[in-house]
């Protein structure tokens, strides 16, 4: 194809059916080729861009006049921008550059959030070339405390300092009480098929061992050890054995009563329902107790559960567990085994947790998410969600509310 002129045609105005058809029919009349095309509609206002190649330079003016006349009939506006052959070649050469996804999540997204995020990405060398709202339309007067808002930015290039970009976005998230995820846009982002969850304070809003300790009358002692372990101040196995020993003599009937009063964290049931509809496998890999993991499995339909087995004798908890204790390293090992069983690469696995003992599995998973986690865990994890529910994970996978709602049709 011997191109003589390249024109960027920008059509904008009130959206209506047939605009693209009208413009491309004119271009077809002049045997023009379309090198690129894209459009966006915001609040019924269309912005359409067509990059057209004209094979005969002598007809370029006639092309623009014909397009202008057709657009005028539609009561819209059009602008033309000449593109040099070298500019086009430079644009083509950019398609091999890495792409990154920045996802902004909040109860309500404000202009200052967008300004801050885009300033950081621009300062560190990323060029945003696409912005999409993944969350649904929000009615005026809606309760913002229960809202979900998400904007996804697609950026091209390589940041000058990837670690500075990550820490800057993390600081910004803390400043504004929002969540910001930054990940490379690879083929694995849309091919993940397994989600591994921690249980305590991740799927549920409690630490089961603390609930059992309350029933045993040793709540304060156990809670203090639990907090130290979650902060990474104590070795998990050592702290676990200390807490477990305090439960000696607890009647087994208490397990059922505690299980029945456990509450799922925000978005847990919705997320797992949607993941199952999308064909994902799900697992609970917990340093807690298998009794409660199986209880959640019966409610949520989780595919796999791994947790510690409480040792029970004569209807009472002995203060010990049967078998190997599931600590952080064991969680990572179980994640690897599950990936192998499902025939998946680690890049296709998502891990979600809140504690220091979750970090080993969060760090080897293709997408590791710290959920409402302690500062130490947030700082060390790949991504974090602290302000929305677990269903916010769907946004990190690139799913819009509109796409998910189709699953109910």
Torsions phi, psi of 150, nearest 5? -150, 130
CATH of the domain at 45: 3.30.70.260
Count up the domains in the chain and report the number.
3
Give residue-wise pLDDT tens across range 152-170.
Answer: 999 998 899 999 999 999 9
Edge-to-edge strand list for the sheet holding 45-54: 33-42, 45-54, 5-14, 77-83
Average pLDDT over residues 278-299: 97
Q: Do 241 and 179 share a structural domain?
A: no
Instruction: Tell me the pLDDT tens digit for each residue of 99-108.
Output: 999 999 999 9
Shared-domain flag, residues 239 and 105: no
Tokens of 327: 């600590």
Q: Give the pLDDT of residue 4.
A: 80
Query: 198 catalytic, yes or no?
Result: yes
Tell me the average pLDDT of the chain: 93
Instruction: Using the 3D structure, point to which of 93, 108, 129 is the last residue of a domain.
Output: 93
245 and 166: one domain?
no
Q: Does the reported pTM lie above 0.85?
A: yes
The C-alpha atoms of residue 306 and residue 355 are separated, in whole angstroms, by: 17
pLDDT at 271: 98
Of these residues, 198, 327, 354, 391, which one is catalytic?
A: 198
Which of 200, 327, 354, 358 is labelled catalytic? Answer: 200
Whether residues 223 and 81 fall in one domain: no
Query: How would residue 144 be classed by pLDDT, with cut points 50, 70 and 90?
Result: low
pLDDT at 223: 83
398 and 273 co-located in one domain: yes
Do 299 and 161 lie in one domain? The reply is no
Report CA-CA distances (Å) from 276 to 138, 191, 248, 297, 400: 27, 14, 38, 13, 16
| Domain of residue 282, residue span | 194-408
Burial class (CB in 10 A: 0-12, 13-18, 19+), 305: buried
The angle at the Cα of 129, spanning 87 to 108, to the nearest 5 degrees, equals 160
Instruction: Name the least confident of 39-43, 100-104, 145-149.
Output: 145-149
Residues 238 and 370 in one domain: yes
151 in the same domain as 74 = no
pLDDT number for residue 126: 93
With bands split at pLDDT 50, 70 and 90, how would you rate the model's confidence at 228? confident
Residues 88 and 102 in one domain: no
What average pLDDT does the segment 262-290 reach?
Answer: 97
- At residue 142 the predicted structure's pLDDT band, cuts being 50, 70 and 90, is low
Residue 350 backbone dihedrals phi, psi, to 5 degrees: -110, 135
One domain for residues 208 and 338: yes
CB 407 within 8 A of CB 126: no
Q: Which of 64, 93, 122 is the last residue of a domain?
A: 93
pLDDT of residue 3: 67
Tell me what percent of the residues of the chain surpass a pLDDT of 90.
81
Angle CA 248–316–238, to nearest 5: 35
CATH classification at residue 329:
3.40.50.1000
The whole-angstrom separation of Cα 382 and Cα 39 is 33
151 and 119 in a single domain? The answer is: yes
Q: Could you report the per-residue pLDDT of 360-400, keeping only the tens digit for each?
A: 999 999 999 999 998 889 999 989 999 999 999 999 999 99
Q: Are residues 69 and 134 in the same domain?
A: no
**Domain end residue (candidates: 135, 168, 185):** 185
Active site residue 210: no
């Amino acid at each position: 194809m011997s191109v003589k002129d390249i024109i960027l045609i920008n059509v904008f105005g009130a959206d209506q059916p047939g605009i693209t058809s009208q413009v491309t029919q004119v271009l077809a009349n002049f045997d023009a080729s379309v090198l690129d095309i894209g459009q966006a509609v915001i609040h019924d206002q269309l912005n359409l861009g067509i990059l057209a190649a004209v094979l005969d330079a002598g007809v370029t003016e006639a092309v623009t006049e014909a397009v202008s006349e057709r657009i005028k009939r539609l009561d819209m506006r059009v602008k033309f921008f000449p593109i040099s052959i070298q500019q086009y070649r430079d644009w083509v050469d950019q398609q091999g550059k890495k792409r990154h996804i920045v996802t902004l999540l909040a109860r309500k997204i404000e202009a200052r959030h967008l300004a801050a995020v885009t300033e950081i990405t621009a300062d560190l060398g990323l060029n945003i070339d696409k912005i999409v709202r993944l969350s649904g339309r929000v009615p005026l007067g809606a309760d913002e405390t229960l809202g979900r808002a998400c904007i996804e930015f697609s950026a091209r290039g390589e940041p000058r300092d990837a670690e500075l970009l990550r820490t800057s976005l993390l600081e910004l998230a803390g400043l504004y009480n929002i969540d910001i995820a930054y990940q490379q846009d690879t083929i694995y982002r849309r091919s993940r098929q397994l989600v591994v969850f921690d249980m305590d304070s991740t799927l549920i809003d409690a630490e089961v061992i603390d609930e059992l300790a309350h029933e045993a009358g040793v709540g304060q002692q156990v809670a203090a050890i639990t907090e130290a372990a979650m902060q990474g101040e104590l070795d998990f196995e050592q702290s676990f054995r200390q807490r477990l020993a305090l439960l000696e003599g607890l009647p087994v009937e208490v397990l059922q009563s505690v299980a029945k009063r456990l509450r799922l964290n925000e978005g847990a049931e919705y997320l797992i329902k949607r993941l199952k509809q999308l064909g994902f496998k799900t697992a609970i890999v917990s340093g807690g107790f298998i009794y409660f993991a199986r209880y959640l499995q019966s409610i949520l339909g989780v595919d796999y559960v791994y947790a510690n087995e409480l040792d029970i004798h004569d209807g009472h908890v002995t203060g010990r567990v049967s078998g190997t204790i599931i600590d952080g390293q064991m969680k990572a090992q179980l994640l690897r085994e599950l990936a192998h069983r499902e025939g998946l690469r680690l890049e296709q696995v998502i891990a979600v947790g809140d504690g220091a003992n979750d970090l080993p599995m969060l760090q080897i998973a293709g997408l590791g998410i710290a959920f409402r986690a302690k500062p130490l865990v947030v700082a060390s994890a790949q991504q974090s969600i602290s302000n929305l529910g677990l269903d916010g994970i769907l946004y990190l996978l690139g799913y819009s509310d509109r796409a998910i709602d189709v699953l109910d049709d």
